[in-house]
Amino acid sequence: MRNKQGDNGTSVPPMSKPLRWLWLTVAVVLLDLGTKALMSSVLSYGQPVEVLPFFNLTLLHNTGAAFSFLAGHPGWQRWFFAIIAVGASVGLTIWMSRLKADEKLLGASLALIIGGALGNLYDRLVHGYVVDFLSFHAAGWYYPAFNVADIGITLGAIGLIWESVFEGRKQARRRG
């Protein structure tokens, strides 16, 4: 593995305690499970509660993945997505443990994705489905319902993309 080069061409040292980012993972899991429990206790299944003209709280159960992918299958997908969540969480935690001192956005992004994966994993293992309740809509078109774990995964993915694009540009400037 090559050492990452700093702005002045020197090697960037490893991050001190890179797994400290796991506090963010724990925060995402707790917020996710707390909001799912709350919404499950106050909402009736499938009955939208309008919050804004374009936003409802609607309790739904998703046995598939994003956008209900594979939701219509007989149940094997529960274990398939659970294995993916565990594998991704382990892999991303190993990646996090190897972060360099200047990779703070990367650490936060990995922690958000791990937190989202673990929040939804809990649902799959305990309930057999993921609890969704955030529902946006406009002009009769409804975006698939989602939850706090999905927000963590999405924000983490955006952070990874941002880091990838701008880190690549920084490295190209240093070489050129």
Residues with active-site annotation: 132, 150
Residue 55: which H helix or E strand, with range? Answer: strand 55-62
* Contact partners, residue 160, CB within 8 Å, separation at least 6: 106, 109, 110, 113
The DSSP element (H or E) to which 157 belongs, if any, is helix 148-175
φ, ψ for residue 6 (rounded to 5)?
A: -80, 180
- Is-contact 167 4, C-beta < 8 A? no
